[in-house]
């Protein structure tokens, strides 16, 4: 038994390192997939700022319209910029080869990014861009150091510079840690407004990763209730059948 536990711990170590590696720890974000107003605002941000480079090839516009409480006409007028028909998937014109040539890597599809990375990771990523003149696009990211993506939302957030604190580690070496940011170029939004906007964006992208999640959860609850009731009936029936024998 002891050997089995050790083997399990060793097997999980790479997963733990992968989850904790790469920049800073994740910040927490509350996801509310029942908040359709938030999802609609997030969809507007996604189509205006993300969909120009990133695709969402597993999401259809008309499915999004139904789930977000919108009409096809509203989606066509306000959220469709790269497709002609509301039944099409959310694709972009940029090819993978163009993305690699312009950004140094293939631009990923974002349909299931929150299923892959997690909502907290994505929220942290969107909140931790900072000015860095050494990078090709003049920005870096605390959660994803040396990222090849520009800060496409900088006009909303503004540009900030990192503030570091220096301390000595257990080995006696001086180590710099990120303690906060200082705004150097104000954006169109206040810090609170931008934070709420990123919560809406991550909320929408979390929905996009699993549009059936709420319905699946509702059916799961109904199924468990049915199974409990079935157990009660089956147990009562079993007692009735075996009454004379026992």
Q: Give exposure, 107-132, as e/b (b: 16+ Cβ within 10 Å).
A: bebbbbbbeebbbbbbbbbbbbbbbb
Average pLDDT rounded to a whole number, residues 158-186: 86
Q: CB of 209 within 8 A of CB of 115?
A: yes
Helices (H), 118-190: 119-127, 154-157
What's the chain's average pLDDT? 85
Q: CB of 132 within 8 A of CB of 144?
A: no
Looking at 119-172, which runs of residues are DSSP E strands? Answer: 129-131, 139-141, 158-168
Instruction: Please give the model's pTM, rounded to 2 decimal places.
Output: 0.79
**String of DSSP letters for 51-106:** TTT--EEEEEHHHHHHHHT--HHHHHHHT-SS-SSTTSEE--S--HHHHHHHHSSP
Give Dmax over CA atoms of the chain in angstroms.
86
What residue ranges define each of the domains in the chain, with the CATH number in brackets? Answer: 25-209 (1.10.760.10)
Q: What is the predicted pLDDT for the residue at 138?
A: 92
By mean pLDDT, which of 40-44, 143-147, 166-170 is the weakest?
166-170
Name the band, by pLDDT with cuts 50, 70 and 90, for residue 101.
Answer: confident
Sequence-distant (6+) residues with CB within 8 A of 26 are 118, 120, 121, 123, 124, 143
Q: Which of 178, 147, 175 is nearest to 161 (CA)?
A: 178
User: 182: helix, coil or strand?
Assistant: strand
Angle between helices 191-209 and 119-127 (to 10 degrees): 150
Average pLDDT rounded to a whole number, residues 108-125: 94
């Amino acid at each position: 038994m002891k050997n089995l536990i050790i083997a399990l711990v060793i097997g999980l170590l790479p997963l733990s390192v992968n989850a904790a590696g790469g920049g800073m720890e994740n910040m927490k974000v509350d996801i509310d997939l029942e908040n359709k107003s938030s999802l609609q605002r997030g969809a507007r941000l996604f189509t205006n700022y993300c969909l120009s480079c990133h695709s969402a090839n597993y999401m259809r516009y008309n499915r999004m319209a139904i789930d977000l409480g919108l009409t096809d006409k509203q989606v066509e007028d306000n959220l469709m910029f790269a497709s002609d028909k509301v039944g099409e998937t959310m694709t972009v014109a940029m090819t993978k080869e163009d993305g690699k040539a312009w950004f140094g890597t293939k631009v990923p599809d974002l349909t299931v990014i929150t299923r892959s990375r997690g909502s907290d990771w994505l929220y942290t990523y969107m909140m931790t861009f900072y000015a860095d003149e050494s990078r090709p696009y003049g920005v870096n990211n605390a959660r994803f150091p040396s990222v090849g993506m520009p800060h496409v939302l900088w006009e909303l957030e503004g540009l900030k510079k990192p503030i570091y604190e220096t301390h000595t580690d257990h080995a006696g070496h001086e180590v710099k840690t990120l303690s906060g940011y200082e705004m150097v170029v104000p954006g169109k939004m206040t810090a609170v407004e931008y934070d709420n906007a990123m919560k809406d964006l991550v909320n929408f992208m979390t929905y996009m990763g699993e549009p059936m999640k709420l319905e699946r959860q509702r059916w799961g609850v109904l199924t468990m209730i049915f199974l409990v009731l079935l157990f009660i009936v089956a147990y009562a029936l079993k007692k009735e059948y075996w009454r004379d024998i026992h």
